[in-house]
Amino acid sequence: MKHLVKYLLAMCIAFMSIKSSTAQTVTASSVTISDIDISHSNNRVYVDMTIDLSNAHIKSNKSLRITPFISDGNQMVQLPAVVADGRRRHIVHQRGEITPEESADIFVRRKNRTEQSLNYSADVAYEQWMANSELILREEWCSCHDIPYAEELMAVAQMHNTPASGNIVASSPANSQATPQQQATSPASQPKPQMAYAIPKADTPSWATHDAEIYFPINKSAFNANYMTNSHELDTLRQLLASGSEVTEIKLMGYASPEGPYKFNENLATQRANSVKDYMAKNNIGGTIPVKAESAPIDWEELKQMLNNSKISNYLKIIAIIDNAEIKPADKNNAIRQQFPVEYKFMFRTWYPKLRKTDISITHKPKSLDVASAKQQLEIDPSKLSLGDIYMIAHTYDKGSKEWNDIILLAVQTYPNVAEARVNAANVAMANGNYTQAAAYLQGLPANMPEAMNSRGILAMSEGKYEQALSLFEAAQKAGVSEATYNISLVKQLMSLKN
């Protein structure tokens, strides 16, 4: 599914509690990861940990890939992975297109039933959004073709600001308690202003697009329901079509991966779209709903999204080649391969198999959901819920509760560009003391949005800008925000104390 990793990361960050950080121990399958440390110094973020493979049993033709990410839920940076190979996979990687010497990843041969551990260290350039990000580990079990068939994500450490040093260090809630002196002078010790949460507009689009992806082996167009995740995608498609949703059209878009001759790719992409269309007709998937089959030689946009999400070396330069109108589409793949051979080998092995596909897009009007059904869908895939559905779930909990906060943050992960979702997420961020993240959520929101004016007033008050806060609260009050009335009296009290 498109953007699957994005939503898995969002669910991780929204729902998973970080019990500890530095020196904590976590277990993924049979792998123990300890001494986890993430720190910021000299404009670099450093990640260190110990990975113990002693209890892991890896079959000869399999691999276990552990990939660290730094993410705040909106952006992420991928660090070099640790690849533990069975005996045959180790030989293949030694002889294959990407060898340990050419890749940033760390390749190790797993010798089962032996003690084996390694110390992992990596660093990346610090960016401002990392200030309150988390370290996520993705564990993938890979088949003999390096295609993942099982995946797990874990949030294992979180970074927090340390104003005294200006750096960032990994810490757990137990280690981040303020001293009594700090508590006495911090905003948390003052009366708390009232947050104004926005209600989604009634005209939030109720029509949705469901996307499925049917994959094909290299240079093949024959439909294989059992290849990669095709069986799961078809089951999900059938369930949607049987759910009673009002479907107006099914659109198929066939693609090929970039490495083949361009004319060959054009024909291959067309054949893949028609292959899926024929399969759907023979198996009565969609019934009488019109099916439109189209194709394009290469899904460059999807490849660009992969590059942006992973931020591999030279990813911006590779994107520049893709976007360069002076380079013919037929020549772009060779340009990438010639200029960036190491990155190309990684892309060919890891991403190109996912570009050999036919996308299935279904425009449908979902049935109205009750709370129980909406909660069930939230656990499965929140992208299938409208913003109104997500807030319907949120309102079953008390405002400010952990459940409320988790769902509000999940809403902005699912609808990052909707003003109501952003201002509500800013409120939760400020309630958690994360004013930097709140400012980021509020950036770009309409200046006359009543709830945003109230939230900007709270942000200004946290910075000691009482005059500015008062002006914002008064404007919010005139716009009908009832919470602003209390906030006006609160900021006036603070102003009198200051004088």
Asked if 49 and 33 count as a contact pair (C-beta separation under 8 A), the reply is: yes
**CATH label of the domain that carries residue 436:** 1.25.40.10
**CATH label of the domain that carries residue 308:** 3.30.1330.60
pLDDT more than 70, % of the chain? 80
pLDDT at site 17: 35
Tell me if 370 is assigned to some domain: no
Provide mean pLDDT across the span 348-369.
84
Range of the domain at 294: 208-365
- Of residues 209 and 369, which shows the higher confidence score? 369
Domain boundary among 365, 385, 417: 365
pLDDT at site 22: 42
Q: Are residues 27 and 87 located together in one domain of the fold?
A: yes
In the DSSP assignment, the letter for residue 338 is H
Provide mean pLDDT across the span 85-90.
84
Asked if 154 and 26 count as a contact pair (C-beta separation under 8 A), the reply is: yes
Q: Are residues 114 and 248 located together in one domain of the fold?
A: no
Q: Are residues 334 and 466 located together in one domain of the fold?
A: no
Residues contacting 37, CB < 8 A, separation 6+: 21, 22, 23, 46, 47, 48, 49, 157, 170
Q: Identify which of 102, 72, 94 has the alpha carbon closest to the alpha carbon of residue 434.
A: 72
Asked if 387 and 370 count as a contact pair (C-beta separation under 8 A), the reply is: no
Range ranked top by mean pLDDT from 179-183, 349-353, 370-374: 349-353
The dihedral through the CA atoms of 334, 339, 341, 344 has a sign that is negative
Q: Are residues 14 and 151 located together in one domain of the fold?
A: yes
Q: Looking at 143-147, 203-207, 325-329, 438-442, which range is the least confident one?
A: 203-207
Mean pLDDT of all residues belonging to the chain: 81
Q: Are residues 30 and 147 located together in one domain of the fold?
A: yes
**Token couple for 288:** 């009488």
Tell me if 466 is assigned to some domain: yes
Tell me if 383 is assigned to some domain: no
Provide mean pLDDT across the span 311-321.
92
pLDDT at site 2: 38
Q: Are residues 63 and 103 located together in one domain of the fold?
A: yes
pLDDT at site 151: 66
Q: Are residues 288 and 436 located together in one domain of the fold?
A: no
Segment 108-154, tens digit of pLDDT:
888 888 888 888 888 888 887 787 778 888 888 887 666 666 667 77
Domain boundary among 137, 157, 177: 177
pLDDT at site 184: 32
Asked if 318 and 343 count as a contact pair (C-beta separation under 8 A), the reply is: yes
Beta bridge partners of 213: 359
Q: Are residues 352 and 437 located together in one domain of the fold?
A: no
Segment 162-185, tens digit of pLDDT:
333 333 333 333 333 333 333 333
Domain boundary among 348, 365, 382: 365
User: What are the φ/ψ torsions at residue 141 (nearest 5 degrees)?
Assistant: -95, 125
Q: Are residues 339 and 471 located together in one domain of the fold?
A: no
Give the C-alpha separation, 34 to 52, whole Å: 8
Tell me if 258 is assigned to some domain: yes
pTM equals: 0.40
- Of residues 336 and 399, which shows the higher confidence score? 336
- Of residues 298 and 380, which shows the higher confidence score? 298
On the CB side of 189, CA atoms within 13 Å amount to: 9
Tell me if 455 is assigned to some domain: yes
Tell me if 310 is assigned to some domain: yes
**Token couple for 259:** 């490495």
Segment 200-253, tens digit of pLDDT:
764 444 555 667 899 999 999 999 999 999 998 888 888 877 766 677 788 999
Segment 12-69, tens digit of pLDDT:
444 343 333 344 667 666 788 888 888 877 778 888 888 898 888 888 888 888 889 8
pLDDT confidence bin for 433, thresholds 50/70/90:
confident
326-344 exposure pattern, b = at least 16 Cβ within 10 A, e = fewer: eeeeeebbebbbeebeebb
Q: Are residues 291 and 425 located together in one domain of the fold?
A: no
Q: Are residues 360 and 422 located together in one domain of the fold?
A: no
Asked if 297 and 265 count as a contact pair (C-beta separation under 8 A), the reply is: yes
Cα–Cα–Cα angle for 404, 14, 65, nearest 5°?
165
Tell me if 376 is assigned to some domain: no
Provide mean pLDDT across the span 438-457.
93
pLDDT at site 242: 77
**How many domains does the chain divide into?**
3
pLDDT at site 181: 33
Q: Indicate whether 341 pLDDT > 90.
A: yes
Q: Are residues 333 and 438 located together in one domain of the fold?
A: no
Segment 253-265, tens digit of pLDDT:
999 999 989 999 9
- Residue 236: CB atoms within 10 Å: 18
Tell me if 128 is assigned to some domain: yes
Q: Indicate whether 78 pLDDT > 90.
A: no
Q: Identify which of 359, 248, 384 has the alpha carbon closest to the alpha carbon of residue 293.
A: 359
